[in-house]
Amino acid sequence: MMVRRSKAVAVTGMGMVTAQGVGVDATWAGLCARREVLRTWSGAPAGHVLAGLKVGECPEVARPRDLPERLWRELAGTQKFAAVCVDEALGQAGLPRVMPEGMGRVGLFMATTVCGMDRSEKFYAQYREDREGADVGLMRRLMPYEVLPLLARRHGLEGPRQVCLSTCVGSAMAIGAACDAIELGECEMALAGGAEALCRVVLSGFHALKVAAAEGCRPFDKNRPGMTVGEGAAVLVLESVEHAKRRGAKVLGYVRGFAATCDAHHLTAPDPEGKQATRAIAEALGRAGVRPEEIDYVNAHGTGTRDNDAMETRALRAAFTGGKGVPAVSSTKRLTGHTFGAAGAIEAGFCLQAMRTGVVPVNAGSVEADPALELPVVREAMNKEMRHTLSCNFAFGGNNTALVMSREWEEGR
C-alpha cells in the first residue's frame, strides 16, 4: 500500500488513571502482576440489575491543589480524570503546570464518549420529575467540549484544540490528529488523550445490548461472554522531535504512523470480514515505514465480544500475511475494563510501557483458547525486547484505528 510517510512524533510524557490505579506506574505494576480489579460498580443502586455487573472502576482521584474545591465538585468524572492525567504527563515531560512564554502553541486533543453524563443523568432524573426544581448546577459542565477551556486556561495552552467523540477510537483519533497538527506545523507540542467515567447510562446501555459480561470479559476465549465496562483516562505529551531535542526532553517513544477507516457497514456491529480494519492496520504500517514483520507486539482492541474478537482476528491475520505472521497479541481489557474513548490513549501508553520495560502484557481473562481464532495470544506475561508495537481500536459505527509506535527512531528511516 502506497501511503504518505509520517514524521515521527516524540512522546515525552504520560499520565494515566485506570482501575489498576492512579498513575502510569501504579497501572503498569497492576498490569504486570495481572491484578484482578474488576468489581461491582459503587454507583449501582442496591438490588438493581447493574449491581450484578463487574466493571473496571478507578480509585478516587485527589483534587489538584490549584483547582478550587467548588470547581472540583462541579466537574464531571471525565474532567477530573483528565485534569489529573495532564498533571502527571506534564510532570513526566519536565514541563511546568503553566506553559511558559516561548513554548509556542501547544495543542489540546481530547476524546470522550460519556462527557458529563455522570452528572447530566442525575439532572435528567430530577428534571423529569420536577422541571423547575431540578438542580441546574448539575448541567454546568454538561457539554462535551467543556474540558477544553478548563485545561487550556489552567495550563496556558494556546494551540488548536478539539474533542473527538468517535466512541472507542476517540483517543486514538485524538493522538492521530495531534500528530497531524505537529507534522503540519500548527503546533510543536500537544496534549492528546481521552477520559471516561462510569455512569448508569453506559452500563445500562451495554447491558441492554446484551454484550456486558457479568463476571468480566475474557478476550479471545472460546467461551467469551462479552465485554466489561470500565473507566479511566490517559494523556500523552506529544512533540516534534526537534522540539523535544531543543528542550532536552527525555523521549519515552515515538508515534510513527496512524490510520483510520470506516466500515460503513452497521451501526453497532463490525464488518465481519474486517476489510477496513485491515486497511487501517496496513496504512498505519505504511505511514510508519515499518514492515509487518518488524512489529513485536500488538495491543488488540479485544473487547471480548464474539463479533469484535472474530473480526479483529481476521483483520490481523490479513494484515500480517507472510513473514513471521501475526506477532504476540494481547488485550488488556480484562485488567482495566473497556474505557471507550480513553482506550486508545491508555493502550498506546501500554505499548510504550511494554517497549520501555520489555514486558509483554498478558491477555488476562482467557481460560481456553478459541480454536476458531488462530492468534498468538499472550497467555503468560513474558519478557521480550520490543522495538515496534501496534495498537488497534474499533468502535460503534465501524470506525477503525491503528497506531504504530516505536521505542527508537532514526532520522531517515
Least Å from the CB of residue 376 to another protein: 29
CB 147 within 8 A of CB 84: no
The contact pattern for another protein, residues 276-295, with x = CB under 8 A and - = no contact, is x--x----------------
Minimum CB distance to another protein smaller for 267 or for 322:
267
**Residues whose CB falls within 8 Å of the CB of residue 27, separated by 6 or more in sequence, listed in order:** 16, 17, 18, 20, 21, 336, 349
Cα–Cα separations (whole angstroms), residue 322 to 213, 291, 316, 347, 373: 35, 11, 12, 26, 18
Q: Does 407 bind another protein (CB under 8 A)?
A: no
Rg of the chain over all Cα atoms, to the nearest angstrom: 20
| Catalytic residue annotation | 168, 301, 338
Query: Minimum distance from CB of 136 to another protein (Å)?
Result: 5
What is the rounded CA–CA span in Å between residue 321 and residue 137? 55
| CB-nearer residue toward another protein: 2 or 380 | 2
What are the angstrom distances between the C-alpha of 270 and each of 41, 183, 303, 352? 28, 31, 12, 27
Binding-site size for another protein (CB under 8 A) equals 65
Site string for another protein, 4-23 (x = CB under 8 A): x-x-----------------
268 binds another protein, rule: CB under 8 A: yes
Take residue 331 and report the three cell numbers written for it.
488485550
- Among 26, 67, 71, 139, contact with another protein (rule: CB under 8 A): 139
Q: What is the DSSP string of 159-191?
A: S-EEEE--GGGHHHHHHHHHHHHHHTTS-SEEE
Site for another protein in 209-238 (CB under 8 A): 209-210
The half-sphere exposure of 393 on its side-chain side, counting CA atoms within 13 A, is 31
DSSP letters of 330-343? E--HHHH-B-GGGH
Task: CB nearer to another protein: give 26 or 148.
Answer: 148
Among 105, 247, 265, 379, binds another protein (CB under 8 A): 265
What distance in Å separates the CA atoms of residue 180 and residue 258, rounded to the nearest whole number? 9
Binding mask 83-122 for another protein (x = CB under 8 A): ------------------------------x-------x-
SS (H, E, C) 126-167: HHCCCCCCCCHHHHCCCCHHHHHHHHHHHHCCCCCEEEECCH
**One residue of 9, 22, 173, 360 binding another protein per CB under 8 A:** 173
Tell me whether residue 275 or residue 387 sits nearer to another protein (CB atom): 275
Among 18, 228, 339, 399, binds another protein (CB under 8 A): 399
Question: Which residue of 167, 240, 278, 406 would you call a contact of another protein, by CB under 8 A?
Answer: 167
Residue from 90, 93, 181, 244 binding another protein (CB under 8 A): 181
Q: Does residue 164 touch another protein according to CB under 8 A?
A: yes
Closest Cα to residue 34, out of 383, 380, 389, 352?
A: 380
Q: How far is the CB of 352 from another protein (least distance, A)?
A: 22
Q: Which residues contact another protein by CB under 8 A?
A: 3-4, 6, 48-50, 113, 121, 124-125, 128, 131, 136-137, 139-140, 142-146, 148-149, 152, 160-167, 173, 177, 180-181, 183-184, 186, 200-201, 204-210, 259-268, 276, 279, 395-399
